[in-house]
């Protein structure tokens, strides 16, 4: 696998085939981009060592990583131990007599899950899954040179006799048995036990006969006090370094240890910024969860200002006005509406988490990736709009008992209107809560659902306040004839939403799909009108209109949910923006060209606003052209697992997302509500 920072490859070396007592090696080779590095078993002042988790058939056991000698990597006033350029981390496999390969598939299948931290000034946790099949019979020696070089990079074991002694704040090291050719030379010192010495501090060393000695400063934040410490000494020049490993016995008591040292502030900030990219998430309450909850609550509040929610505002304004003087009805309605909103967000979150646990690649707003769902919502809002406009009353079509039940249970109406609000508003949450939602889908289930509930509470909070606080309630107008005018006026936001949904469907199913939906909506409207007539006219006209609707549904209904013809939504020839694909990003970066990716969707209102403003700004386009930036647009209007996976790697679960890539650097994720100054500043740093 390849990332902008590292190319990782699983390799094998079995020169004598797969058999007991024969040498069999596997290993992960990491090729770093310039200035990037990963870490040794003791990472130094910060960082994390690479971790390998093997899945092997019965009768095969993996040993520990045979760590090559590291190098010291200074970072400010700190220092780390790790690897740059290319490093192979070899692991020996032990083949026992219990290994019984199949006669039909005489191969040893090796699977590896690897996790590593790659750093420059910033740090990026990365992981990969690898698979390899090694022939049981015959040799596998194509990677022999790489494993031979890794073998030479292993430190050689020294005979016993090395010792360490604590003298105040200094560790006195004594290592005999080194080769005579090294005597008098300056050696590099690497303790395998972390959090003992001042990694970046200089230390003195000297030769006493054939014994190498050193005085190494102890760390003020020391947290370890072992009885023995393995140490690695390295001599020679770059390209011809040789290491020697000694098991040094500690001959004096350790002074009291300090509290466990923290990683460097720079690393801590980098890890926090990339928390969504790692599966090792804390299970208890933490600052990230609290920030996610607060962000979700604020995002839910902002949702009430989004165009997606205008139709639901119409319903609630009319409902509140109707109960302006009835405190009990107002409070019950507010609670029921809030319950409908919160329960719906919880249901959507639980569905998304369940599908993701089952392996489905879904992101937030997935319900509007389905043309059938978009068409159903357009139909629903058409019916509601016609009702608000006064074309019909729902009570006309209900049996008397059901109509009376609706009148007796207005709380049920409020609950259902809350659910309807969520169905339409949820795609608008991503611009304000991209990071919170990205974190939520990686949290334990209970914490993730708490984030979704916080979104619902934020969205319902204004209505709860209006329904329970007298000061807010006094602002509500008294009921009167104006309410009927307001009701009819509010039909227009409904029809505006229908127009938007038809446009969204047009992006998914093409112009034919949008036209078919409009025809069906007209036919449904005719059916509703015919049912308001009386006598024989109603029977005749209703029968004809229902037959016309059935004929239309049978002939053009399939067009509504059909996929748009290939190339309909792709960028036209000569446009700056081209269709996104993962390999196109890699190809551009390999050619040294920076890349900007716009993760967007037709149903995302914020995406369309940014596209018409910031992304169309002449100065922004000039800056992009001056830097020769490859512009790619990832259209998520229809479900696309590749785009979902790309968003997940960036710690996001919804759109819009704007990312700048440059070879050798970490991806830069910009704000969802994108400003011209922010984008131009980011482009200038490419």
In this structure, the number of other CB atoms found within 10 A of the CB of residue 190 comes to 25
Predicted pLDDT of residue 598: 94
Q: Which residue has the tokens 């990694």?
A: 199
Q: Which of 153, 171, 190 is the last residue of a domain?
A: 153
Evaluate whether residue 597 is within a structural domain.
yes
Q: Does 419 reside within a domain?
A: yes
d(Cα 59, Cα 642) in Å, to the nearest integer? 37
Task: Mark whether 539 and 410 lie in a shared domain.
Answer: yes
Among 119, 153, 187, the domain-final residue is: 153
CA 235, 236, 241: angle at the middle one, nearest 5?
85
Backbone φ and ψ for 11, nearest 5 degrees, come out as: -125, 160
- Same domain for 187 and 329, yes or no, is no
Do residues 593 and 534 both lie within one domain?
no
Residues 309 and 417 in one domain: yes
Instruction: Work out the angle between the directed axes of helices 310-322 and 491-530 (0-180°, nearest 10).
Output: 80
Residue 30 lies in a domain: yes
Residue from 353, 369, 376, 355 nearest 445 by CA: 353
CA 256 to chain CA centroid, Å, is: 42
With a cut of 50, list the residues of the chain below it in pLDDT: 259-268, 270-271, 274-285, 287, 359-364, 398, 400, 402-407, 430-435, 566-574
Does residue 313 belong to any structural domain of this protein? yes
Residue 429 DSSP code? G
pLDDT of residue 494: 79
Task: Note the pLDDT of residue 387.
Answer: 79
Same structural domain for residues 361 and 380? Answer: yes
Residue 169 shares a structural domain with residue 236: yes
Q: How far apart are CA 617 and CA 607, in angstroms?
A: 15
Dihedral sign of CA atoms 627, 630, 633, 634 in order: negative
Please choose, from the candidates 420, 425, 429, 452, the residue with its C-alpha nearest in 3D space to the C-alpha of residue 309.
425
Whether 615 is covered by a domain: the verdict is yes
Residue 40 covered by a domain: yes
Give the side-chain half-sphere CA count within 13 A for 650. Answer: 27
User: What CATH number is given to the structural domain containing 144?
Assistant: 2.60.40.10
Residue with tokens 């710690």: 651
CA distances from 456 to 360, 453, 465, 513, 671 (A): 24, 5, 14, 33, 23
Q: Report how many domains make up the chain.
A: 4
Do 634 and 580 touch, CB atoms closer than 8 A? yes
Nearest to 602 by CA among 646, 642, 569: 569
The CATH number assigned to the domain holding 605 equals 3.40.30.10
Spatial CA neighbour of 116 closest among 280, 232, 230:
280
Burial of 253 (0-12, 13-18, 19+ CB in 10 A): exposed
Cα gap 563→25, rounded to integer Å: 49
Residues 127 and 194 occupy one common structural domain: no
Determine the Cα–Cα distance for residues 536 and 544; give it in Å rounded to an integer. Answer: 13
Burial of 283 (0-12, 13-18, 19+ CB in 10 A): exposed
Going by C-alpha positions, the residue among 159, 38, 23 that lies closest to residue 92 is 23
Q: What angle do CA 223, 224, 225 make, to 5 degrees?
A: 130
Range of the domain at 668: 578-684
Q: Which residue has the tokens 């038809």?
A: 502
HEC secondary structure over 15-55: CCCCCCCCCEEEEEEEEECCCCEEEEEEEECCCCCCEEEEE
pLDDT at 521: 93
Determine whether 18 is exposed, middle or buried from the number of CB atoms within 10 Å of its CB (0-12, 13-18, 19+): buried
Q: Determine whether 291 is exposed, middle or buried from the number of CB atoms within 10 Å of its CB (0-12, 13-18, 19+).
A: middle
Q: Are residues 169 and 149 located together in one domain of the fold?
A: no
Q: Residue 123 pairs with which residues in a beta bridge?
A: 119
Here the CATH number for the domain that contains residue 199 is 2.60.40
Tell me if 333 sits within 8 A of 327, measured CB to CB: no
For residues 318 and 377, membership in a common domain is answered with yes
Structure tokens given for 242:
């040789």
The average confidence (pLDDT) of the chain is 78
Q: Which two tokens stand for residue 250?
A: 């500690």
Sequence-ordered alpha helix ranges (H) in 562-636: 582-590, 605-612, 618-626
Helix orientation angle between 430-440 and 287-303, rounded to the nearest 10 degrees: 150
Distance, CA of 487 to CA of 314 (rounded, Å): 8
Q: Compute the distance between CA of residue 521 and CA of residue 538 in angstroms, rounded to an integer.
A: 20
| Nearest residue to 429 (alpha-carbon basis) of 384, 515, 368, 501 | 368
Residues 482, 537, single domain; the answer is yes
Same domain (yes/no): 510, 631:
no
pLDDT at 361 (0 to 100): 45
Q: How many residues does the chain have?
A: 686
**368 within some domain:** yes
Please indicate, yes or no, whether residues 338 and 404 belong to a single structural domain of this protein: yes
3-state SS class at 242:
strand
Rounded Cα distance, 625 and 617, in Å: 12
268 in a structural domain: no
Of 135, 153, 171, the residue that ends a domain is 153
668, HSE (Cβ side, Cα atoms, 13 Å):
19
* Tally of CA atoms within 13 A in the half-sphere of 234 that contains its CB: 19
Q: How many CA atoms lie within 13 A of 362 on its CB side?
A: 22
For position 282, what pLDDT does the model report? 36
What is d(CA 656, CA 226) in angstroms, rounded to the nearest whole number?
Answer: 52
Q: What is the DSSP letter of 511?
A: H
- Which is it for the CA torsion 340, 341, 345, 348, positive or negative? positive
Exposed e or buried b for every residue in 471-488, given b needs 16+ CB within 10 A?
eebeebeeeeeebeebbe
């Amino acid at each position: 696998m390849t990332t902008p920072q590292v190319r990782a490859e699983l390799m094998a070396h079995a020169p004598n085939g797969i058999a007991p007592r024969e040498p069999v090696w596997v290993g992960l080779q990491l090729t770093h981009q310039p200035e990037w590095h990963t870490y040794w078993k003791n990472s130094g002042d910060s960082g994390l060592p690479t971790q390998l988790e093997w899945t092997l058939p019965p009768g095969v056991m993996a040993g520990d990583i045979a760590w090559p000698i590291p190098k010291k990597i200074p970072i400010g006033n700190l220092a780390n131990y790790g690897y740059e350029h290319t490093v192979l981390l070899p692991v020996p496999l032990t083949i026992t007599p219990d290994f019984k390969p199949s006669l039909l598939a005489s191969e040893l299948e090796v699977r590896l899950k690897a996790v590593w931290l790659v750093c420059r000034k910033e740090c990026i946790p990365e992981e990969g899954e690898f698979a390899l099949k090694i022939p049981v019979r015959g040799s596998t020696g194509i990677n022999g040179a790489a494993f031979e070089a890794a073998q030479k990079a292993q430190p050689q074991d020294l005979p016993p006799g090395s010792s360490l002694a604590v003298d105040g704040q200094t560790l006195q090291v004594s290592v005999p048995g080194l080769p005579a050719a090294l005597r008098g030379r300056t050696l590099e010192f690497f303790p395998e036990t972390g959090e003992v010495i001042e990694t970046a501090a200089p230390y003195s060393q000297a030769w006493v006969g054939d014994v190498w000695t050193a005085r190494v400063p102890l760390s003020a934040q020391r947290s370890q006090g072992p009885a023995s410490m393995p140490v690695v000494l390295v001599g020679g020049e770059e390209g011809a370094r040789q290491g020697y490993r000694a098991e040094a016995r500690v001959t004096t008591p350790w002074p009291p240890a300090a509290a466990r040292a923290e990683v460097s502030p720079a690393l801590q900030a980098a890890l926090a910024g990339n928390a969504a990219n790692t599966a090792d998430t804390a299970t208890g309450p933490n600052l990230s969860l609290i920030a996610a909850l607060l962000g979700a609550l604020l995002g839910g509040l902002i949702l009430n200002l989004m165009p997606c929610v205008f139709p639901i505002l119409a319903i609630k304004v009319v409902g509140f006005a109707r109960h302006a003087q009835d405190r009990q009805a107002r409070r019950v309605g507010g609670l029921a509406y809030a319950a409908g909103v919160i329960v719906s967000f919880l249901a959507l979150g639980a569905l998304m988490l369940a599908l993701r646990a089952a392996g489905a690649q879904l992101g937030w707003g997935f319900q509007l990736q389905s043309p059938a769902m978009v068409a159903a919502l357009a139909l629903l809002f058409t019916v509601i709009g016609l009702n608000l406009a006064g074309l019909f009353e729902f009570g006309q079509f209900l049996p008397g008992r059901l109509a009376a039940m609706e009148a007796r249970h207005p709380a049920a109406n409020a609950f259902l209107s809350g659910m309807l609000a969520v169905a339409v508003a949820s795609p608008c949450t991503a611009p304000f809560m991209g990071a919170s939602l990205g974190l939520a889908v990686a949290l334990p289930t209970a914490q993730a659902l708490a984030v979704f509930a916080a979104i619902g509470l934020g969205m319902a909070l204004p209505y709860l306040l209006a329904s329970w606080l007298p000061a807010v309630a006094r602002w509500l107008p008294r009921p009167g004839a104006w309410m009927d005018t307001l009701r009819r006026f509010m039909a227009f936001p409904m029809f505006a939403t229908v127009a938007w949904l038809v446009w969204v469907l047009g992006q998914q199913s093409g112009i034919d799909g949008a036209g078919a939906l409009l025809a069906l909506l007209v036919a449904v409207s005719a059916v509703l009108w015919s049912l308001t007539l009386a006598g024989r006219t109603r029977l005749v006209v209703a029968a004809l209109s229902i037959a016309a609707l059935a004929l239309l549904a049978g002939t053009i209904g399939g067009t509504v949910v059909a996929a748009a013809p290939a190339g309909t939504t792709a960028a036209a020839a000569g446009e700056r923006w081209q269709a996104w694909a993962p390999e196109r990003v890699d190809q551009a970066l390999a050619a040294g060209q920076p890349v900007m990716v716009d993760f967007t969707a037709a149903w995302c209102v914020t995406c369309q606003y940014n596209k018409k403003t910031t992304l169309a700004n002449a100065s922004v386009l000039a800056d992009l052209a001056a830097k020769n930036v490859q512009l790619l647009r990832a259209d998520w209007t229809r479900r696309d697992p590749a785009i979902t996976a790309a968003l997940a790697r960036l710690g996001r679960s919804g759109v819009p997302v704007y990312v700048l890539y440059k070879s050798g650097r970490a991806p830069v994720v910009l704000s969802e509500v994108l400003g011209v100054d922010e984008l131009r500043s980011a482009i200038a740093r490419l």
